[in-house]
Amino acid sequence: MAKEEGNVLAQNKKSRHDYSIVDTFEAGIVLTGTEIKSVRAARIQLKDGYAQIKNGEAWLINVHISPFEQGNIWNQDPTRTRKLLLKKREITKITNDLKGTGMTLIPLKVYLKNGFAKVLVGLAKGKHDFDKRESIKRREQDRDIKRVMKSINQR
């Protein structure tokens, strides 16, 4: 499990609702100069993004980074495919795990760590509707328990 640190710039909140996260990996991302400036300004969307392993390399697909206003001719296509920087053994582990049915690789968070943009990608399995209802039910029960415990502790 990767441990995320630093300043969170973007988060894919819907992913935890739609998927069960099995494992997470921290990956660097290859960006151009104007793209990193847009990322530092938190102008990035992970909503429809996903990652793939092609020819032993990890690629981030369909993640939208808005063009930098002062970038003019150096701006890239906002949804271009970007390379993820992972170790060889992480890529082989992900490749082996993706062979299972219903598994996918999705970006969960983008954050800065020691001045570098990092992506927390999660190996995920899709949830069914009844799994989603179960998650909501469990969350509400936890909330009720905390509320009761708080009222008991205030007495």
In a domain, 139, yes or no: no
Res 88: pLDDT: 95
Of residues 106 and 71, more confidence is placed in 106
> Rounded mean pLDDT of the chain?
87
**Is 144 within a domain?**
no
Structural domain total, the chain = 1
Confidence grade of residue 5 (pLDDT, cut at 50, 70, 90): low
Q: Is residue 146 part of a domain?
A: no
What tens digit of pLDDT does each residue of 32-46 get? 888 888 888 888 999
Instruction: Indicate whether 136 belongs to any domain.
Output: no
List C-alpha distances in Å: 83 to 13, 69, 150, 154: 23, 23, 47, 52
User: From CA 10, how far away is CA 24, in angstroms rounded?
Assistant: 16
Residue 94 within a domain: yes
Assigned domain for 40 exists: yes
User: Would the pTM of this model clear 0.75, i.e. be above it?
Assistant: yes
Domain that holds residue 88: 8-127
Asked whether residue 81 is domain-assigned, the answer is yes
CA–chain centroid gap for 143, Å, is 25
Model confidence pLDDT, tens digit, residues 107-118: 999 999 988 999
Domain for residue 151, yes or no? no
CATH of the domain at 104: 2.40.280.10
> What pLDDT is stored for residue 30 in this prediction?
92
